[in-house]
Amino acid sequence: MIKRRPVLRAVAELLNAANGVRPLAREGYPTIPVFAFGWPTSEMSALYLAGSMADAVRRGIRGDFRGTRGRIALALTAVSWALLGLIHRRNASSQPHFEDPLRAALGADYQEIAEKAKAKRRRRIGIPPNDLIRRRYVEKAGTVQYGPHGGANRADIWRRADLPRDGKAPVLLQVPGGAWSIGMRRPQAYPLLSHLADHGWVCVSIDYRVSPRNTWPDHIIDVKRALAWIKENIAEYGGDPDFVAISGGSAGGHLSALAALTPDDPLFQPGFEDADTSVVAAVPIYGRYDWVTVHGNGRREFIAFLQKFVVKLPFRSNRAVYLDASPIHRLRADAPPFFVLHGRDDSIIPVPEGREFAEALREVSTSPVVYAEIPHAQHAFDFYYGSPRAHYTAQAVEEFLSWVQATRAAAPREQAG
């Protein structure tokens, strides 16, 4: 006979909910399980709450909540429900934390300016306003090979089925995360990709070579190869090779920021040095931007990980390699517009990483730098379709990139006038 432990189970549920409210660890290796358990709770809290309540009904009918221990278990479970409700309310009310930074950096009329680009896309597609129906996959125009390294150099192309092949749609390259050792394009950033594709974009989601089988800088070289492929081929899918933006989360945030700050850099383009790898805008999300600093939560563990699995070179005697790989040390005045997003409760990459990168870039770049710090958000807050934060992320990124598109289109007219 299976021995039931309702109090122990209730305590486990309560700890999990508390971890979703605020991560229980922020330093060292414990941050990994804290994230693994905390992310589903913080981003899928409504689903988690519904499942917990349904299971409590089942266990109540079974008699788990009888007696003193049962009543204690039920009380603890009710507290965990209250915490899950708090998590969901915080998630649902986070939209201003995406919009306000855009308004502060781009101006109070940024949405009106962005709407000009959106209206132009609607006319090209041939549909009226407010008739953009959300589809999960829109259309995947097949998997393409963008580089010479087999399955590691494959990409999915996302587009509306009714997008004209001569549509000159804006293009986004999505670079997946995974600690430079996973890098799977599926199912990362699906809420963003489907949202943009529905709104007339062409999106390219890539795989790239990962560690420990491959060694830095293979990762960024593949991202550059993908950019070069897009510039040469995306017009066949209705995309505009003159408007290519880049985004990515976690390791993808690092790679997208580095790619945006090193256009046409021969160090990362061996054999295709003459290819155009510039981008018009970058949206790195909860990325690692500094491979050099050893001070701060988790920094020593991170450098040790890079030395052993990614760069595979001693840090002390190869500091230049780590500097070259650090976006915060590759800042430039002619950087494209940046929209940097980071969760304040990120237990994998602490929020100072994003904050310090955005501040440093803002001091150097002549282009707008938007920084959105999302309260209570864990790592990977943009993954899940049902998460309000994922929806707000997709909306905010589209507004930012549409603003960039509209202002770039207006610039030649102003110069001509």
Closest CA to 184 of 158, 217, 207, 156: 207
Active site residue 324: no
User: What number is the average pLDDT over the span 147-153?
Assistant: 95
Quote the pLDDT of residue 385.
83
Quote the pLDDT of residue 212.
96
Annotated catalytic residue: which of 218, 290, 346, 382? 346
Q: What is the mean pLDDT of the chain?
A: 91
Q: Which domains does the chain have, with CATH numbers?
A: 6-92 (no CATH), 96-416 (3.40.50.1820)
Quote the pLDDT of residue 137.
43
Q: Is the pLDDT of residue 62 over 60?
A: yes
Active site residue 207: no
Q: Is the pLDDT of residue 305 over 70?
A: yes
Phi, psi of 41 (to 5 degrees): -70, -40
As a residue count, the chain comes to: 417
* Span 98-109, pLDDT tens digits: 999 999 999 999
Q: Is the pLDDT of residue 362 over 90?
A: yes
* Span 6-20, pLDDT tens digits: 889 889 999 999 999
**H or E element, residue 397:** helix 388-416
> What region, left, alpha or beta, does residue 298 occupy, with left being phi > 0 and alpha being psi -120 to 50 degrees?
left
Q: Is the pLDDT of residue 341 over 50?
A: yes
Annotated catalytic residue: which of 195, 379, 391, 402? 379
Q: Residue 129's pLDDT band (boundaries 50, 70, 90)?
A: low
Annotated catalytic residue: which of 247, 250, 326, 365? 250
Quote the pLDDT of residue 29.
76
% of the chain exceeding 90 in pLDDT: 72
Check if the beta carbon of residue 253 is closer than 8 Å to that of residue 290. no
User: What number is the average pLDDT over the span 107-120?
Assistant: 93
Alpha-carbon distance of 207 to 152, in angstroms, equals 5
Alpha-carbon distance of 238 to 115, in angstroms, equals 21
For residue 286, count other CB atoms closer than 10 A to its CB: 29
Quote the pLDDT of residue 108.
96
Alpha-carbon distance of 192 to 344, in angstroms, equals 20
Alpha-carbon distance of 377 to 92, in angstroms, equals 11
Active site residue 346: yes
For residue 46, count other CB atoms closer than 10 A to its CB: 17
Task: Quickly tell me which residue has 């001070």 as its tokens.
Answer: 295
Check if the beta carbon of residue 169 is closer than 8 Å to that of residue 239. yes
Report the helix count and the strand count for the chain, using DSSP H and E: 13, 8
